[in-house]
Chains A and B, each alone.
Chain A
Amino acid sequence: MLGYSRAQGMALGILIALVIVAPGVLYPVFVMKVLCFALFAAAFNLLIGYVGLLSFGHAAFFGIGSYVTAWTAKNWGLTPELAILLGGLGGAVLGLVFGWLAIRRQGLYFAMITLALAQMVYFFCVEAPFTGGEDGIQQVPRGRLFGVFSLQNDMAMYWVAAAIFLAGFLLLHRVVHSPFGQVMKAIRENEPRATSLGYRTDSYKLIAFVISTFMAGIAGGTKSLVFGIATLTDVHFSMSGEVVLMTLLGGLGTIFGPVVGALVVTGMENYLAPFGAWVTVTQGVIFIACVLAFRRGIMGELGALLKIDL
């Protein structure tokens, strides 16, 4: 079903059960943060894991989603579902433009171009009037879902965030296992051959890029409602680095890896926060360790151990 094998279906069941149980065990706001980053990382993984494109500037789309949702929820009083949807659209529109530009170059150049474009967005957000500069957009109201259900309560917000995460996660998985996804993987394995088979690889890359940036925008928008704030941190370059780290640690091109990676990295930041710059050092060490010795990531290794694709 939905392209899941039996083992993957069971893993998905475990994931859903964990999402339901988690707020009873852990602080709900923390779990919501993990879910937002997990969706963000899953969106990023769609590109690096399945098309082979390393976007080193994904914070731009996450951040724009965050700003658009926060601004429309606060200034237009939009209901949360509409504000988040607009955040996703903001990410997608920006992704369409950036993808169209960056796809002109391949490999390392693609990574450098996305990074540079994202830095441009960051500087734009520092200057632009509607982002509130260093202060960001604060006190964003969570509003009422469909204009009816208030999300002021953390648990109410939690179920909405969980639903958004699961829907996005399933959709991304569906994309990977569709005929479209097969072409994506063909491009990753051998682009000239995909071209010679008659596929317009640039169009496929661009569509995958837009889907990914839409989901990144949704994740950013949800995050801004959960915390009631959208700031420069969301568009900053280090956020791009974090999402790369989450995906790499969890396992590039695995289904559940980005979720596990998001949990580990977010948890680590929480516990190491009092130690200042040691967070950066630890992240760097994990990067190096993953690249040198642990390229399949947590879920990749686990999958290899159990002989299933996770």
Chain B
Amino acid sequence: MFSIFGIPAPLLFGQILLGLINGGFYALLSLGLAIIFGMLNIINFAHGALFMMGAFVAWMLLNYLGINYWFALLLSPLIIGVFGIVLEKAVISRLYKLDHLYGLLLTFGLALVIEGLFRNEFGSSGLPYQIPPILSGAVNLGFMFLPIYRGWVVVVAFVVCLATWLIIEKTRLGSTLRAATENPALVQAFGVNVPRLVSLTYAGGVALAAFAGVLAAPIYSVNPNMGSNFIITVFAVVVIGGMGSIIGSVLTGFGLGIVEGLTKVFYPQASDTVIFVVMVIVLLTRPAGLFGKTA
């Protein structure tokens, strides 16, 4: 085995792969946050909790109903999306006329309730979720062993991000969505049902979180705290990338995942803090964020 900068290649590439996986989750979550923010003007603090619920729904589908991973990958985002519509209609929609900070506080409360309920029901130790048989095992790439499931997660996360970008930038639905983000009153005047569009946007954003949750289930144990560990880092990712552009969120997410992975190789003590350090540097040099438009 050869080595790079005195680091054995399998270790280096293994950590970069782990970084890409985390990066995929950062990208999916920050993408959802950005879409929701654009339309609803709230920061969805419950995003982490809904990511966790996505994983739990997959676990429940498998253990209670015997529905396998592949169907869960479709069903769980659907179920969480419907749950999102209920949340938006029942509580979040009452806040649109208020200061945006109330949206943050409300969704924070929602996150506490959801996580608390799941912790009561399932404890905090975590439940195992098996990798589906087709994706288990590993292939030897010559410079490293690639566990197939991990490669799959990176590819799927990237494809879903790309699909979201295509929907928003290249379809009619996407252009209505972008127009409604710019000027909801005008779009409503053209006969578009904007409140419904808002609900669907929220559903779409949280469905992305749930999808990430299902992808994460076999990698991390399914655990009521898995979302809150992620969400604060994702906030930093959002601050770094700025919420102005979809591609920006995706690139920032994957990029920061790699940075985190490399830090684990070269200076493991800092691996938990490196994203926050990057955030500080970005704030000092480009306060609006790497892809942000306004300050």
Contacts and interface: CB of A to CB of B under 8 A. Distances in A.
Interface of A: 48, 54, 56, 101-102, 104-109, 111-113, 115-117, 119-120, 123-124, 126-127, 237, 241, 244, 248, 276-288, 290-292, 295
Given A112-B239, A113-B283, A278 B113 contact: no
B116 interface: yes
25 contacts: A54-B101, A107-B101, A111-B43, A111-B104, A112-B43, A113-B279, A116-B279, A127-B269, A237-B232, A241-B108, A241-B112, A248-B105, A277-B119, A280-B113, A281-B117, A284-B108, A284-B110, A285-B109, A285-B113, A288-B113, A291-B102, A292-B91, A292-B94, A295-B98, A295-B102
B13 interface: no
A116 B116 contact: no
Interface string B84-127: 00000001001100101110111011111111110110000000
A117 B100 contact: no
B295 interface: yes
B238 interface: yes
Interface residues of B, number: 43
Contacts of B42: 108
B101 A288 contact: no
Central interface residue in A126, A244, A284, by most chain B CB within 10 Å: A284
B215 to A, nearest CB: 23
Contact of A116 (B119, B232, B272): B232
B239 A113 contact: yes
A89 B247 CA distance: 43
Contacts of B269: 127
Per CB-CB distance, the 4 closest pairs between chain A and chain B, nearest first, are A287-B109, A284-B112, A280-B116, A284-B113
Contacts of A278: 116, 120
Given A287-B106, A288-B106, A277 B116 contact: yes
A281 B117 CA distance: 7
Contacts of A105: 239, 283, 287, 295
Given A101-B283, A108-B100, A123-B272, A280 B112 contact: yes
B101 A108 contact: yes
A54 B104 CA distance: 10
A108 to B, nearest CB: 5
B293 to A, nearest CB: 13
A292 B106 contact: yes
Contacts of B245: none
Contacts of A119: 232-233, 236, 276
B235 interface: yes
Given A112-B238, A277-B120, A120 B113 contact: no
Interface of B is mostly: helix
A28 to B, nearest CB: 30
B120 A104 contact: no
B280 A101 contact: yes
B273 interface: yes
A70 B104 CA distance: 34
Given A119-B232, A241-B112, A286-B109, A124 B273 contact: yes
B156 interface: no
A120 B104 contact: no
B284 interface: yes
A26 B95 CA distance: 39
A281 B236 contact: no
B277 interface: yes
Contact of A108 (B43, B113, B283): B43
A291 B109 contact: yes
A120 B280 CA distance: 10
Nearest to B105: A291
A244 B106 CA distance: 12
Contact of B276 (A109, A120, A280, A286): A120
Interface in B255-295: 269, 272-273, 276-277, 279-280, 283-284, 287, 295
A117 B277 CA distance: 9
Contacts of A286: 109
Contacts of A102: 283
B294 to A, nearest CB: 10
B179 to A, nearest CB: 23
Contacts of A241: 108, 112
A247 B14 CA distance: 46
Given A108-B100, A123-B273, A116 B235 contact: yes
